């Protein structure tokens, strides 16, 4: 199988032996693999893969077709078009995935969109619905709204019935409104935003610093991205006055069981809306799996709208 391999911060292509699925697993012939900020961190030597996952092949999400199943896995998975998050190794022609984590891609969804769904939508759904407990008619502020997770989060928040303020440095204000944002602003304008019940912080300390003065009583702040820095100057009086809670998480290091439970929630809560087109994966650009350096360079540029995805032709 063909793999993108991190070798001293360079991205190489290697041909490796295609593995066979063990118990509970399937083998997927990949058609698309999204790029995430975690891949950039991993390439730089930070954020290593959790135990049990490929250590030098990046990639946390993929879509493709099931081409082999483990001894105890329902053979009806064979041939299905699926997507999933993985702990690493998604940027390869073949990937082993726990069957519990598979999401069936709705009919008619393009390969690139399927390859960019899992990490973005599971991350955003987990943060908004499960961690922040975002409820209908609450106000949510989403920073970094133009990115892969951001464009997913805007749609999910709207899907949950919230009032959505999308914050972006990009010019994609109209596109964010079209996705369901009620208002769109630059980070410098956050001080004019009405107090918010939930903050999904995808950029990090630089953005969150500006939002701290805009927390409504009992606000919930969930930090899941740190591209804009990790040191927050936090005035604890804000927490005492608002009774806000501040938390953070990553998806990658969670247990098999927790990922399974999250996948089940997403099957129930999001896949029907993905099937109707009410939720869509925004694609900023696609690159062949054989051109990872170009894809990563594009990913690193500001101003994109949506996901960057590595693609390859479906196996015959």
Q: Which residues bind a second copy (CB under 8 A)?
A: 204-205, 208, 223-224, 226, 230-237, 239-241, 243-250
Using the minimum distance from each CB to a second copy, give the nearer residue, 230 or 301: 230
Which CB atom, from 225 or from 292, has the smaller least distance to a second copy?
225
Nearer to a second copy among residue 193 and residue 239 (C-beta):
239
Which tokens in the block code for residue 154?
């805007």
Report how far residue 110's alpha carbon sits from residue 47's, in angstroms, rounded to the nearest whole number. 30
Minimum distance from residue 126 beta carbon to a second copy (Å): 11
The least CB distance from residue 313 to a second copy, in Å, is 37
Which DSSP letter does residue 176 get? Answer: H
What are residue 35's DSSP bridge partners?
308
122 or 179: whose CB is closer to a second copy?
122
Shortest spacing between CB 286 and a second copy, in angstroms:
29
Q: Which of 142, 21, 146 is closest to 84 using CA atoms?
A: 21
Q: Residue 28 contacts by C-beta under 8 Å, 6 or more apart in sequence?
A: 62, 64, 65, 66, 67, 82, 84, 94, 95, 96, 97
Q: In angstroms, what is the minimal distance from the CB of 11 to a second copy?
A: 25
Q: Which is nearer to a second copy, 55 or 241 (CB)?
A: 241
**Could you tell me the two tokens for 258?**
């927790």
In angstroms, give the least distance from the CB of 67 to a second copy. Answer: 35
**Cα dihedral 103/106/111/114 (nearest 10):** -40
Nearest CA among 229, 269, 224, 2 for reference residue 119:
224
């Amino acid at each position: 199988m063909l793999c993108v391999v991190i070798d001293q911060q360079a991205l190489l292509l290697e041909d490796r032996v295609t593995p066979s699925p063990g118990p509970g697993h399937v083998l997927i012939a990949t058609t698309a693999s999204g790029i995430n900020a975690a891949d950039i961190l991993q390439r730089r030597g930070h954020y290593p893969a959790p135990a049990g996952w490929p250590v030098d092949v990046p990639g946390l999400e993929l879509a493709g077709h099931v081409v082999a199943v483990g001894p105890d896995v329902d053979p009806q998975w064979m041939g299905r078009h699926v997507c999933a998050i993985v702990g690493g190794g998604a940027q390869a022609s073949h990937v082993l995935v726990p069957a519990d984590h598979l999401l069936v891609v709705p009919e008619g969804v393009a390969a690139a969109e399927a390859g960019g769904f899992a990490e973005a939508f599971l991350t955003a759904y987990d943060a908004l619905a499960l961690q922040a407990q975002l409820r209908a008619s609450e106000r949510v502020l989403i920073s970094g709204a133009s990115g892969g997770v951001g464009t997913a989060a805007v749609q999910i928040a709207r899907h949950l019935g919230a009032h959505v303020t999308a914050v972006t440095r990009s010019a994609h204000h109209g596109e964010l409104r079209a996705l369901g944002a009620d208002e769109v602003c630059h980070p410098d304008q956050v001080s004019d935003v009405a107090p918010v019940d939930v903050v999904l912080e995808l950029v990090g300390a630089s953005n969150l610093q500006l939002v701290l003065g805009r927390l409504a009583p009992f606000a919930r702040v969930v930090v899941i991205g740190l591209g804009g820095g990790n040191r927050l100057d936090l005035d604890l009086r804000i927490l005492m006055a608002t009774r806000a809670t501040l938390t953070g998480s990553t998806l990658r290091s969670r247990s098999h069981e927790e990922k399974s439970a999250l996948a089940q929630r997403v099957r129930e809560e999001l896949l029907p809306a993905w099937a109707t087109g009410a939720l869509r994966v925004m694609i900023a650009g696609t690159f062949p799996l054989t051109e990872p350096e170009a894809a990563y360079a594009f990913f690193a540029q500001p101003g994109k709208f949506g996901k960057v995805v590595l693609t390859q032709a479906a196996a015959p």
